[in-house]
Each structure stands twice: as C-alpha cells, then as structure tokens.
Structure 1
Amino acid sequence: MKYAYEDMSDEQFERLVVIICQHIMGISTQGFAKGPDGGRDAKFIGTAELFPSRSSPWVGTTIIQAKHTNGYNRNCSESDFYNKEKKTNPNTVIGAELLRIKKLKDKGELDNYVLFTNRRLTGNAESEICKTISDYIEVDIASVKIIDINQIELYLKRYPEIMRIADLDPIDSPLIVSPDDLAEVIQAFANQARTLDRSLTNINIERTTYARKNQLNNMTEAYANELKRRYLKDVNEIESFLSLAENTALRERYELAAEEFCLNIIAKRKDYQTFDHIMNYLSKLLVDREPILRQAKHKRLVNVMLFFMYWSCDIGENEDAKTQ
C-alpha cells in the first residue's frame, strides 16, 4: 500500500521513522528530541539488530534524522536538498546537517548517521551524498546511510504492523491545500500582467478593515505592514485581471482555490499561533507542491495572490456584517 507521506506532518513522519528504527535497530531506539544545537535527532546506542544488515550491524551511537517534505514527487538531487557545488550551504538539507553533525562527531556523540526522507533517491545521488557526509564528518562511508521513500515502502511491506503502531490519525495531519487551481490562475496572470490596468481604484469590495482583520486573525503588526508595503500595489491589477470577461473560468478557479484554502485554514487554525505562520506555511507548501510555482517568475506571485485573498477577505476570519 502506498501512503501519502507528503500529507503527513513532520511529527507524524518522525514517529513513523522511530518505529521503523525500533524494528531494524532495536526497541531501545530513542524518539526525536531537540538537542542543544537546535536539531531534532533520534538515537540508538548499542549494536543494531538488522541495520544495515544482520551480518554487519552498526555498533555505537547512531544518530537518526528525519527530513520530511510536503512537496509532491521530490527527489534528493534537487538543489534545496543537496548542492554539489556548495556542499555546506546551510540553506540546503544536507548542508545544514553537515555543519550540525560534525559537532556531534567531534564531541564523540556520533559513530553512525542515517537520514530518512520521503524524497526519492537515485543510485548516483546516494553514493555522492553519502561520500560527502562521510568525508566531512570523518567517518567510514559504510557508517552513513540515506533511506528514501522507496526503502521506507519496503520496510512497511516487511513489517506491516508499523503503520498500525504508528497510528497516524488524519486529524493530526497539517494544513494541506491543492496548488492546482491557484497555479493556473498565477500562470495566466503572469502572462497578462503587463497589459492590465494598474490604476483601477473604484473597486467595491465588502471587507473588514485591514487593521481589524489583523486583530481577528492574530496577524502581527510588523508582518501585516510588510505584506501591505510589498503587495498592496498589485491588488488592483489582480482584481482587473479576474474581472475580465475572458477570464471568467480563471475567476472560478480562483474562487475554488480561495474556498478550499479558507475552509482548511479554519479546520487547522488552532495549530498555528499567528496568521503570519499560516501565510508563510501556505506559500512554502504551494511552491513545494507545484513545479510551475517554483519558477522564478511565479514565486513572488504566490505571495501576492495569498495577500490578495487575505486583503479581499476570501481567507481568514472577518467581522460578521450583522454585528458591524
């Protein structure tokens, strides 16, 4: 059975990894905990039962890392995971890990290192990444492993009880939205933007005042001001675009996206302290899940469109018209 790993939360994926490790290393595998370096590691100390194999098990302190993405069909060769030109780039998954686990090795707190990810890993990428890690932290390459989504699937087939033990309740899943409708709108808007009227000012939108909306949604003043400074100038252009008769179908796609976002935000609102976090999370999720939105010319428009939804009161809590 294939599981939608991209719809899991980071915590759910970590729980799954720990249970897998309890099966292949030993029941004494310690769960993920935040260390003094800020990283979240799981750990196994001793001789592994079956990992990497029964005949040649790892011995000593094994640091276990889980790197989860909500993106579709992501792989370990992508530049946000590993940059072969700038191996220690802290903005990549592997680069950030190298800097952190080298300190653990230098303090004698790491003998072996395994990273689980729900990305896909090719043979060439596996050997290159493992060699980079082993060279940098100065351990034998046999003491470094990357476990990708395909290997995770094999473990779940071999140990079907793992998913039952993990008890991954969908209600604990993160805020998930589909990027499809919004991606089509953004792509079309990017193509038409230069021909649109930026001076349209007489748009009659029934909306809660921006200041009041920010209070209702717990958006911080600094974040709200920065959104307004960067993206308010684009609002009229988007409204002009969506109002064109020839864009009726795109307007419908926008409304479908806004409705989905709104309802899912309401359902998961308690999981996010401020609306700042929701906006940032949605922006990253949409870019991660849709290749069109990862294009440089579209990335900014993701934030523009999310601001437009918020400004137009299509997402986020609004003042009840009857109480005004």
Structure 2
Amino acid sequence: MIDKIRQWIIGNNNNLAGRDIVNNEFNYDPYPIRFFEDDIKEVILCFSEEVDEISNIIENNEDFYRPEIEQKNEINNLSERCFKHIQENSINHFEKIEDFLHDRRNEKYLKKYLSTAEELNNKIVCNRTEFEYFDKIFDALYTYIVEKSNNNLRFPKNLIWIFLHYMYYKCDIGEKYDKAT
C-alpha cells in the first residue's frame, strides 16, 4: 500500500504534485519564469486593435536614472546580436507603444502593463542565475506566453517580442542603476 501511495505522489507525469519524474529523475522545467501572462496578452491585444487611434498622450514621469542602453546591455549581459535585432525589428514601434500606454483612455492597460512589468522583474531577479544571457530570458518569456496560450493568440506573435523588448529598453525589466547610486 505504501508503494502505491508513493507511486501516486512521485509517479511519472504527476503534475498535480508539482513534479514530473521520468526514470526517477526530475525533468528540466521548461518555464523557469512563470507569471500571470493574461494581463500582458490583454494589453498587447488592445494595442494591436487600437494602435491607429492613439491620442491624448500624458506625460511620462520617470522616477529613476536610466543608464545608457549600452551600459544597460552590459549590466544585463544582453548580446550585441540580440540588441542589434531589437534595433532593427522592435525599436521603431516603441513610440507607438508609449503613446498607447499613456493615452488616458488606456489607463487600465497601463496599470496591467506596470503590474506585469513589476511581476516579471521580480521573477527575473529571482531566476537570474538560471540564465547567462538576457537573450535567454526573452526567449523563456516569449515561449511561456505562447505556450500558455496554446498558440491561440488573437494578435501577431511578433508583438510579444516587441513588448518584451520595449519593457527592457524602458528599464521596466532588467537591472538598472537608481539615481541614488
């Protein structure tokens, strides 16, 4: 009887117990950074539907010193190849995202965005030693969002990359120096 209970608790593919053991070894966790991805998906969806109607921009109040992006990349160990990709494929969308998030009509999405960014940054800090390069963090976050959605997103998947890059570039995720430092 004890063996049956042990097998039920430890058994193969036992996701209820929070573990998945095959051949008595723990499998690699494909989601080292887990978070409530529905908020950021909702922000991205609304952005993708309303990007052409953005107006009434409110002033962005930055309350910290943002290092030069090259210094931030060095602090976070973001590869030059990844940053070049951000420059070529994402950065030209950042102004539209900024306008969208700071439109007074989108205040609830700004709150969701900020909440998600704070949650992600805390998760990144807690799991930073799992990733040598920040490039891998981007990949882990993207994969988590897409797979949790069962590839059933109502917006283009490349917007996920763009929003993650925006979060990084604006210092909402990743290490930065505070003014007091």
TM-score w.r.t. length of structure 1: 0.46
Match of 1:194 in 2: 52
Gaps spanning 5+ residues in structure 2: where?
Answer: 1-8
Q: How far, CA to CA, are the matches of 1:203 and 1:255 in structure 2?
A: 13
Map 1:144-183 to 2 at 5 A.
174-183=32-41
Instruction: Give the superposition deviation at 1:175.
Output: 1.7
Structure with the bigger RCO (C-alpha within 8 Å, sep 6+) is 2
Letter of the 1:221 counterpart: E
Q: 1:181 to 1:218 in 2, by over 3 A?
A: same
- CA apart distance, 1:196: 3.2
1:218 to 60, 64, 77: 77
Aligned counterpart for 2:120 among listed residues 261, 281, 306:
261
Alignment-mate amino acid for residue 302 of structure 1: I
TM-fit CA distance, 1:195: 2.6
Within the candidate set 126, 139, 147, 1:280 is matched to 139
Name 2:3's counterpart in structure 1.
none
Residue identity over aligned pairs, in percent, reads 27
The structure whose Rg is larger is 1
2: distance between equivalents of 1:296 and 1:223?
26
8 Å contact from structure 1 (residues 178, 286) kept in 2: no
CA distance in 1, matches of 2:160, 2:134: 16
Listed as ranges, the gaps of 5+ residues in structure 1 are: 20-30, 33-65, 71-173
Matched, 1:245 2:104: yes
The yes-or-no answer on 1:18 pairing with 2:23 is yes
Q: 1:217 touches 1:316 (CA, 8 Å); kept in 2?
A: yes
Deviations along 1:244-302, whole A, 9 cap, x unmatched? 111111100001100100000000000101101101111111111125x6437330110
Kindly tell me the number of residue pairs found equivalent between the two proteins: 165
Whichever residue aligns with residue 89 of structure 2, its letter is R
Q: 1:311 aligns with which of 163, 166, 169?
A: 169
Shift of 1:207: 2.1
Partners of 1:264 and 1:67 in 2: how far apart?
18
Match of 1:3 among 7, 15, 19: 15
The CA deviation string for residues 191-217 of structure 1, in whole angstroms up to 9 with x for no partner, is: 0112337xx9x9675522110100000
Pair 1:288–1:251, CA change in 2 (3 A): same
CA contact (8 A) 2:138 2:164 kept: yes
RMSD in angstroms over aligned alpha carbons? 2.8
In structure 2, what is the Cα distance between the partners aligned to 1:310 and 1:229? 15
| Cα displacement string for residues 18-57 of structure 1 (whole angstroms, at most 9, x for unaligned residues) | 12xxxxxxxxxxx69xxxxxxxxxxxxxxxxxxxxxxxxx
* Residue 3 of structure 1, CA deviation: 3.4
Greater fraction of residues in strand: 1
